[in-house]
Amino acid sequence: MNTFLLVCTGGALGSGLRYLVDHGTTQWALREHASTFPWGTLLVNVVGSFLLAFLLTARTGTGDGLPSAWRFGLGTGVLGGFTTYSTFNYETLFYLQHGKLVLAAGNIALTLISCLLAGLAGVMLARTVLP
């Protein structure tokens, strides 16, 4: 039951953070660059990929890592609420439905490559900093 509550609380926190980051990034992109590209969605997914890879790779001094309840609370809860595949999917489908093939392909390529690289960086940092 404690793990469930940590996941639920973390999910609420992650979703709120996603809203703030996405909203702030979208406002910045529109104001500064007149861009409607989904930079906020890309940013939360890249940051979330890095943090989840780091979290799941990191070990404490005992070599056991975080207790499983906290790994679920932070990983499934906070980072699960923070990141969003469904919004990425919707935004890409929107571009495709409106004939914006270059934007759709760009969104797919940027998301896949950036998230994979961010995840790799998270794993490498965790292994380097927290052997």
**Per-residue pLDDT at 9 exceeds 90:** yes
Count of structural domains within the chain: 1
In this prediction, what percent of the chain has a pLDDT beyond 90? Answer: 78
In this predicted structure, the answer to whether residue 63 has a pLDDT above a threshold of 60 is: no
Model's pTM, two decimal places?
A: 0.91
Please report which confidence band the pLDDT of residue 40 belongs to, taking 50, 70 and 90 as the band edges. very high
- Give the residue among 78, 71, 55, 67 at the shortest CA–CA distance from 8: 78
pLDDT exceeds cutoff 70 at 65: no
Tokens for 57, please give them. Answer: 């790779």
Structural domain that includes position 110: 2-129
Helix, strand counts (H, E) of the chain: 6, 0
Q: What is the pLDDT of residue 3?
A: 92
Q: Is 22 exposed, middle or buried (0-12, 13-18, 19+ CB in 10 A)?
A: buried
